[in-house]
């Protein structure tokens, strides 16, 4: 039986990421023990480094990496709207799309992300492109999308669910049938909602309901953005126990606003973090955490370590409740899948662990990725 001991570490343990300063024992592919202090038998000295769950990027459009910085001198609708520039770029040769997707998936691994949820355009053919480009890691949770709703059953058999670009992508009567089929297949149902002020205002004007309220009527697995969610919307999300995926960097770079992370915390809304379109922002969760922390501090300078811990949970353990992934939090009896970060340079002399990690940690601190007890190299 293989055994590995990592010691002299700060371990973010369990679903709450509680700090445990000590050691971790892995036997075969399972975490056998997490202890305080020094182990009886020493192994790998992490030199006061950190052990935490891997990142899960809860919202991506990885094929958009074919056209990075496409958003320059354009508004959000001009970039990602129904006739936006990204869709013209996605019509390029399949071989180029596959190359672009593979490059961005490798970059995810190099920045500690072992899973992502992708809203994949192009119907069944689009899903197949991502499946061909991907590998075992990072795990791609694929939510398909198609204007040919006759292929919906085949699409659902090929992927993990449906990712709607907006509530108006399908006519209201057909939308109910689509939702019934997705939920009946026990697949993930997700949608963009309240990403822009204009779309949300139009929804209220025409239907007398916000986009978030309309989305909740469909009982989604989660909604994406909610950048313009009102206080009532946040209360409704909390009552429905429906998570939101916030995409702070992409929202800001596309000029549509800043997600209400501080208010969501205040109302007890469950949330995850995503990087959205790779044409706009690289899918680096270290960068996403740092930016989200800046947004949170801008909204309320009184926030501290507990709010930073909530951001870390949003990037690691909270998505595990939505996606069927083959690992869990760092805890005894769990699969030994985790990140080990070095406490060097930027992470020296921290006075608070959670805030220090979300504000300062970067890919250069990534000492090792362990998958099922084995050290994993992105080039493997």
Does residue 341 sit in the same domain as residue 240? Answer: no
Q: How far apart are CA 326 and CA 270, in angstroms?
A: 21
From 321, 343, 368, the end of a domain falls on 321
**Regions of the chain short of the pLDDT cut 70:** 1, 147, 379-380
Domain span holding position 295? 55-321
Does residue 203 sit in the same domain as residue 87? Answer: yes
Does residue 251 sit in the same domain as residue 191? Answer: yes
CATH number of the domain where residue 152 is located: 3.20.20.140
Query: What is the reported pLDDT for 147?
Result: 64
From 289, 321, 353, the end of a domain falls on 321
Q: How many domains does the chain have?
A: 2
Does residue 205 sit in the same domain as residue 63? Answer: yes
Does residue 249 sit in the same domain as residue 363? Answer: no
Instruction: List Cα–Cα distances, 88 to 3, 66, 191, 193, 194, in angstroms.
Output: 52, 11, 22, 23, 24
Residue 145: closest CA among 73, 75, 90: 90
Does residue 110 sit in the same domain as residue 11? Answer: no
Residue 247: closest CA among 76, 34, 132, 111: 76
DSSP 8-state class, residue 89: H
Residues 6+ apart with CB under 8 A from 363: 110, 111, 112, 284, 286
Alpha-helical regions (H) of the chain: 76-80, 85-89, 94-110, 123-133, 152-158, 172-184, 197-207, 211-216, 231-240, 248-253, 261-266, 285-299, 305-315, 353-360
Does residue 48 sit in the same domain as residue 91? Answer: no
Query: What is the reported pLDDT for 40?
Result: 84
CATH number of the domain where residue 9 is located: 2.30.40.10
Decide if 272 contacts 314 (C-beta within 8 A). yes
Does residue 197 sit in the same domain as residue 342? Answer: no
Does residue 155 sit in the same domain as residue 109? Answer: yes
From 321, 337, 359, the end of a domain falls on 321
**pTM over the 0.85 mark:** yes
Does residue 158 sit in the same domain as residue 303? Answer: yes
Does residue 11 sit in the same domain as residue 141? Answer: no
Does residue 131 sit in the same domain as residue 176? Answer: yes
Enumerate the β-bridge partners of residue 21: 10
Give me 297's structure tokens: 């501090």
The string of DSSP codes covering 299-359 is H-TT--HHHHHHHHHHHTTGGGGTS--S--SS-TTSB--EEEE---GGGTT-S-HHHHHHH
């Amino acid at each position: 039986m293989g055994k590995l001991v990592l010691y002299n570490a700060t371990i973010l343990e369990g679903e709450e990421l509680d700090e445990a300063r000590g050691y971790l024992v892995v036997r075969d592919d399972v975490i056998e023990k997490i202890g305080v202090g020094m182990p009886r038998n020493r192994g790998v000295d992490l030199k006061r480094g950190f052990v935490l769950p891997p990142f899960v990027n809860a919202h991506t459009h990885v094929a958009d990496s074919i056209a990075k910085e496409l958003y320059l001198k354009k508004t959000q609708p001009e970039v990602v709207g129904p006739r936006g520039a990204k869709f013209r770029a996605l019509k390029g040769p399949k071989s180029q799309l596959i190359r672009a997707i593979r490059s961005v998936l490798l970059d995810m691994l190099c920045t500690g992300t072992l899973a992502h949820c992708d809203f994949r355009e192009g119907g069944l053919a689009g899903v197949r492109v991502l499946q061909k480009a991907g590998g075992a890691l990072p795990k791609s949770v694929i939510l398909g999308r198609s204007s040919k709703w006759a292929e919906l059953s085949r699409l659902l058999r090929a992927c993990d669910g449906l990712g709607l670009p907006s509530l108006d992508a399908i006519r209201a009567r057909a939308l109910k049938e689509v939702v019934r089929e997705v939920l009946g297949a026990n697949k993930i149902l997700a949608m963009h909602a309240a990403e822009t002020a204009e779309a949300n205002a139009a929804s209220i004007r025409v239907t007398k309901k916000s986009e978030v309220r309309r989305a909740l009527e469909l009982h989604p697995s989660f909604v994406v953005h909610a950048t313009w969610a009102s206080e009532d919307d946040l209360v409704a999300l909390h009552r429905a126990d429906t998570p939101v995926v916030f995409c702070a960097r992409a929202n800001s770079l596309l000029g549509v606003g800043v997600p209400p992370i501080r208010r969501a915390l205040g109302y007890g809304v469950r949330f995850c973090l995503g990087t959205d379109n790779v044409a706009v922002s690289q899918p680096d969760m270290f960068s996403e955490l740092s930016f989200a922390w800046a947004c949170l501090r801008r909204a309320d300078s009184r926030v501290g370590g507990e709010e930073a811990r909530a951001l870390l949970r949003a990037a690691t353990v909270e998505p595990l409740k939505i996606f069927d992934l083959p690992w869990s939090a760092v805890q005894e009896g769990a699969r030994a899948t985790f990140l080990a970060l070095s406490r060097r340079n930027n992470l020296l002399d921290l006075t608070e662990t959670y805030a220090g990690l979300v504000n300062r940690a970067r890919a250069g601190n990534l000492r090792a990725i362990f998958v099922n007890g084995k050290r994993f190299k992105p080039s493997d």
